[in-house]
Amino acid sequence: MNVIFLGPPGAGKGTQCKVIADRYQLRHLSSGDILRRERADNTDLGQKAQSFMDSGRLVPDDLIVAMMMKEINAADTNSGVVLDGFPRTIGQAEELDKALNAAGKDIDVVLCLDVDDDKLEHRITGRRSCSGCGAAYHITFNPPQVDGICDKCQKELTQRSDDTAEVVKNRIKTYHDQTAPLVSFYKEKGNLKNVDGNVAIEQVTQAMCDILDRVST
């Protein structure tokens, strides 16, 4: 089973993708995680993508499609993948369809998480991570015991450069301008399923599992 997750930044795609990947034995492919890894490793792709990521703009289609198809083709053909943060444009979606068709594969379902913009901004700007061990926090939902200090290793907590208020507003606008049309694209294909992402995490998970259970039977 191959699954796509759509939704704006901060909608909870990463959290839900991990749960779904474990439950249905799928390989979780996060375009954001892969790009950050490439950037940290200072690869050619990482260097090209860095300026786009830091300003909240989308990485060009040719870079992201080539990277993601390499990961998809490396996945276990007997299971499937859950795509997190990809595709983000109609161009990426069309190129993905061509590549999957050539490999004898298809997308079974597209889950679209819908979240209000004001909730998205609060979720993202409140995120913090440990500069030492990488532990994740949120100033409202999961605050550290001591402000700005990691509970586990006592290192300083930092905010990602693309999680600041100005960049977040741009990321959300970019989503509405360029990524939201994918909703219509996949709705016309007949495999789009909307999920309310404003509710509790457990409720979102249950709604998605109900959909995937029907698709997989």
Helix (H, G, I), strand (E, B) or coil at 113: strand
DSSP category for residue 175: I
Least confident range of 9-23, 42-56, 93-107, 115-129: 42-56
Short-list 155, 174, 171, CA closest to 163: 171
Contact (Cβ atoms closer than 8 angstroms) between residue 96 and residue 65: yes
Residue 53 phi/psi, 5° resolution? -65, -40
pLDDT attached to residue 55: 76
Q: How many whole angstroms separate alpha carbon 26 and alpha carbon 91?
A: 25
Over residues 62-71, mean pLDDT: 81
The overall average pLDDT reported for the chain is: 89
Among all chains, which residue has been given the structure tokens 């049309």? 181
Helices 165-174 and 117-125: crossing angle in degrees, nearest 10, is: 140
81, 136, 180 from 15: Cα distances, Å: 15, 12, 20
Over residues 35-58, mean pLDDT: 79
pLDDT attached to residue 213: 94
Cβ atoms < 10 Å from Cβ of 125: 18
Among all chains, which residue has been given the structure tokens 């161009």? 91
The first and second tokens of residue 52, run together, are: 């786009």
pLDDT attached to residue 78: 67
Catalytically active residues, by annotation: 13, 88, 127, 160, 171
Q: How many whole angstroms separate alpha carbon 206 and alpha carbon 160?
A: 30
Short-list 185, 128, 196, 117, CA closest to 157: 128
Q: What is the pLDDT of residues 140-169, one digit of tens each?
A: 989 999 999 999 999 999 999 889 999 999
In the predicted structure, residue 212 carries a pLDDT above the cut 80: yes
Question: Per DSSP, what are the bridge partners of residue 164?
Answer: none
pLDDT attached to residue 76: 64
19, 96, 111, 115, 128 from 54: Cα distances, Å: 28, 25, 27, 23, 16
Domains of the chain: 3-116+173-216 (3.40.50.300)
